[in-house]
Amino acid sequence: MSLNYYEEFRAIQTLFRSMQSQKECGHYNMILEYANEGTLREYLKTTNFTRLQWVDKLRIAKEIALGLLFLHNKGIIHRDLHSKNILIHQGQPKIADFGLSKQINEMSTSSSSSFHGMPEYIDPKCFIIPNYKRDKKSDVYSLGVILWEISSGRSPFQNFEPKIALCVHISKELEKVR
């Protein structure tokens, strides 16, 4: 699926921008665009979730989906999409934190660690298939969890224990050794 010119312009607006960066003492410092309403997770709590109209929830969901579609059309997989990596400025969602992002053609077994990111938003295949390579479908899974959060006002899998994921990984590795 491709975006027309207007949709592409709107999609670009949903990406968090770096205004300036500089290298100092071997570390990069970045000046980022300001997001006056914090993360999506905070926004859903502080704006009193019940006051948000469904039309607003749908608009937020659509704009996040457009931003993700834009990234995928440019050959980029986010790999760490969750409600704390979506920032809100004047009611407008912006996808942020591209630290784990990869070009689709960069994907390799060594760069696809199952345990990068927030476990609640990670494609479940990452916990089952050793060396699973995240792809567009993995981002779409994360988007689905975000959509659930937007519609319910609650963070996903509130009883999820990250230790469970570690146990699954260890048990898979033990099966290989036996």
Provide the residue-wise pLDDT of the chain in tens; the chain has 178 residues. Answer: 555 544 554 555 666 555 556 677 876 666 667 788 999 999 998 777 889 999 999 999 999 999 999 889 888 898 899 999 999 998 999 998 876 777 777 654 434 444 677 888 888 888 777 788 888 999 999 999 999 999 999 887 776 666 565 666 666 665 665 5
| Tens-digit pLDDT profile for residues 1-28 | 555 544 554 555 666 555 556 677 876 6
Q: Which residues contact 150 (CB under 8 A, 6 or more apart)?
A: 40, 44, 57, 60, 61
State the pLDDT at residue 102.
Answer: 77
Domain count, the chain: 1
State the pLDDT at residue 128.
Answer: 76
State the pLDDT at residue 122.
Answer: 85
Can 80 be counted among the known catalytic residues?
yes
Q: Which residues contact 161 (CB under 8 A, 6 or more apart)?
A: none
Range of the domain at 94: 5-177
Q: Which residues contact 102 (CB under 8 A, 6 or more apart)?
A: 76, 77, 79, 111
* Domain of residue 39, CATH code: 1.10.510.10
| Tens-digit pLDDT profile for residues 36-56 | 899 999 999 877 788 999 999
The residue from 56, 80, 97, 139 that is catalytic is 80
Two tokens, residue 74:
């440019």
Task: Provide the 3-class DSSP secondary structure of residue 100.
Answer: coil
State the pLDDT at residue 130.
Answer: 74
State the pLDDT at residue 105.
Answer: 76
State the pLDDT at residue 166.
Answer: 60
State the pLDDT at residue 144.
Answer: 96
State the pLDDT at residue 79.
Answer: 86
Contact between 118 and 138 under an 8 Å Cβ cutoff? The reply is: no
Predicted TM-score (pTM) of the model is 0.75
State the pLDDT at residue 14.
Answer: 61
